[in-house]
Amino acid sequence: MGARCSKLSLCWWPSHLKSNLNYSSDLENGELLPGGFREYSFEQLRAATSGFNSDNIVSEHGEKAPNVVYRGKLQEDDRWIAVKRFNKSAWPDSRQFLEEARAVGQLRNERLANLIGCCCEGEERLLVAEFMPNETLSKHLFHWENQPMKWAMRLRVALYLAQALEYCSSKGRALYHDFNAYRILFDQDSNPRLSCFGLMKNSRDGKSYSTNLAFTPAECLRTGRVTPESVVYSFGTLLLDLLSGKHIPPSHALDLIRGKNFLMLMDSCLEGHFSNDDGTELVRLASRCLQYEARERPNAKSLVTALTPLQKDTQVPSYILMGIPHGTESPKQTMSLTPLGEACSRLDLTAIHEMLEKVGYNDDEGIANELSFQMWTDQIQETLNCKKRGDAAFRAKDFNTAIDCYTQFIDGGTMVSPTVFARRCLCYLVSDLPQQALGDAMQAQAVSPEWPTAFYLQAASLFSLGMDTDAQETLKDGSSLEAKNHGN
């Protein structure tokens, strides 16, 4: 079960090293800026990552997405780092990139996986962060192998993240992109830290936008704009994740808690290990974060105040609560996934959309071939026009219109296209209709039994439905089929 998340551990750190936030030795090899932040040369980072070797990739969002992270080791001091290399089309304004990186780089806090440097040479844009050895919250909460996360540790995660947000807010960095369980990493002591990468503003026209549709609060879906209040909303969703042990889509969070007893939400693995008062209080706090009116939500400081008295076993080290041997690194990922498989495993709907659009209809049996054996009638022409309108809407991310047009094409009954089912599947996922999405992914497999994309989309749908074990098995099926196809 660890395969899905191990590639998302953005920042690891060797157990025998501790963070040296002054980095005085960096003066010899790069420009040291206030706060221990430095600018690296591209050649330094190329060498640290063995030429950006694919074996060192720890996070990947597809070919077009500006989000590939490598682990590396700086040759001059044997320090492990995480290097995020952006696509060349990202951050065209070098000045804006440097200003953002330097601003985030001034932050230093034990609740953050801190940004320690950057590189801006020519078209290259790279960030350098601390490296964390113990993977993501998603791995330990949703896909645990040895033991479920204990109640005391879940409360600690909530508090530490609230403290991270409070610190960032106090430094004028209240906006955080795609706040979710994949952005939360565990350091050498198994303490949770918030990844610094989500603090980069990623702005257009002075407004800050979300980059991953799967983790965007419902209020932001139309514009994607991130506000401090929407970050608190996402924090409320994360509280529900901690309570239930499942990923809760932000758009479903409010409906999930409305009028329900908290015991219906609780992870069954926690039975008998928490008090009803604590569970009630955490649900109450989550509901405050999920208020429809943004101004009625608490701020980060209020979150810290509410969570502090709930803490348990405060003297017990996190690595003991987590059941992680102190000073050991987590095993490497054993299942190799293509970029599409990776995107589906993370429910990265933005990356899935980009890849489905790029592939087009190359994987189809061929609509044109089927039509050559049919009489060209007005009905057939209208069916084809529905598909064209659907494709245009899909390209424009008008997913509701795409669903309507693709449905007319499918209901026409004269042609069958697995790619249309695949595209409508994604539209359903974006629209928070995972059951319908799963149906379309299965239809795509029925039409093209040897098409890995159909399996990957089934996995994404199953993850959306909370059926993680089935989703992992389907990912393996898709990966095995892809390997078999390439072997042929």
- CATH number for the domain that contains residue 350: 1.25.40.10
| Interior angle at CA 224, CA 222 and CA 228, nearest 5 | 120
- Is residue 365 situated within a structural domain? yes
Residue with structure tokens 């539209």? 427
Looking at residue 202, its pLDDT comes to: 63
- Residues 25, 82: one domain? yes
Mean of pLDDT values over 384-409: 93
Residues 77 and 118 in one domain: yes
Query: Which segment of 27-31, 272-276, 301-305, 420-424 scores lowest on mean pLDDT?
Result: 27-31
Residue 432 and residue 251 in contact, taking contact as beta carbons nearer than 8 Å: yes
Least confident interval from 159-173, 243-257, 360-374, 378-392? 360-374
- Least confident segment among 41-55, 121-135, 362-376: 362-376
d(CA 348, CA 487): 28
Q: Which residue has the higher pLDDT, 446 or 221?
A: 446
Are 223 and 318 in a shared domain? yes
**Interval 333-358 mean pLDDT:** 82
Residues 447 and 344 in one domain: yes
For the chain, how many residues are written?
Answer: 488
Is residue 119 located within the same domain as residue 143?
Answer: no
User: Per mean pLDDT, which range of 18-32, 166-180, 268-282 is the poorest?
Assistant: 18-32
User: Residue 166: its pLDDT value, please?
Assistant: 97
Residue 481's nearest CA partner among 367, 358, 341, 364 is: 341
Q: How confident is the model at residue 487 (pLDDT cuts 50, 70, 90)?
A: low
To the question of pTM greater than 0.75 for the whole model, the response is no
Contact 425, 440 (CB under 8 A): yes
What's the rounded mean pLDDT across residues 228-232?
Answer: 91
Query: Are residues 274 and 379 part of one domain?
Result: no
CATH, residue 285:
1.10.510.10
pLDDT at residue 204 tops 60: no
Summarize the confidence of residues 230-240 as an average pLDDT: 92
Given 260, 295, 322, the domain boundary residue is 322
**DSSP letters spanning 180-234:** SGGGEEE-TT--EEEEGGGGS--EETTEEB-S-GGG--GGGTTT-B--HHHHHHH
Judgement on whether residues 94 and 115 belong to the same structural domain of the protein:
yes
Lowest mean pLDDT across 84-93, 110-119, 206-215, 323-332:
206-215
Domain limits for position 48: 3-130
pLDDT at 452 over 50: yes
Cα–Cα distance between 219 and 40 in angstroms, integer? Answer: 39
Residues 144 and 271 in one domain: yes
**Final residue belonging to a domain, choices 88, 111, 130:** 130
pLDDT at 332 over 60: no
CB contact at 8 A, 256 and 207? no
Q: Which residues of 274-295 are buried (b: 16+ CB within 10 A; e: fewer)?
A: beeebbebbbebbbbbbbeeee
Residue 394 in contact with residue 427, Cβ under 8 Å?
Answer: yes
Same domain, yes or no, for 156 and 243? yes
Does any domain span residue 187? no
Higher pLDDT, 54 or 172: 172
106 assigned to some structural domain: yes
Q: What is the mean pLDDT of residues 146-167?
A: 96
> Does the pLDDT at position 66 exceed 90?
no
Per-residue pLDDT averaged across 7-18, rounded? 31
pLDDT at 32 > cutoff 50: no
- Whether 277 is a known active-site residue: answer no
For residue 127, pLDDT over 50 is answered with yes
- Say if residue 393 is in the same domain as residue 459: yes
- Does the pLDDT at position 368 exceed 70? no
Confidence category of residue 338, pLDDT binned at 50, 70, 90: confident
| Nearest CA-CA partner of 179 in 213, 204, 216, 143 | 216
Report the pLDDT value the prediction gives residue 441, as an integer from 0 to 100: 94
Cα 163 to Cα 449: distance, rounded to the nearest angstrom: 49
Mean pLDDT of 283-310: 94
- Sign of the CA dihedral with 263 first, then 269, 273, and 274 last: negative
Q: What percent of the chain has pLDDT over 70?
A: 78
pLDDT averaged over every residue in the chain = 80
Structural domain includes residue 479: yes
Tell whether 193 is covered by a domain: no
Catalytic residue among 26, 77, 78, 178: 178
Q: How many domains are contained in the chain?
A: 3
Q: Comparing 486 with 393, which gets the higher pLDDT?
A: 393
Q: Are 233 and 361 part of one and the same domain?
A: no
pLDDT band at 215 (very low <50, low <70, confident <90, very high): low
Q: How far apart are CA 49 and CA 194, in angstroms?
A: 23
Indicate whether 467 and 364 sit together in one domain. yes
In a domain, 278, yes or no: yes
Query: What's residue 18's pLDDT?
Result: 31
pLDDT at 107: 94
Query: Residue 157: inside a domain, yes or no?
Result: yes
pLDDT at 104: 95
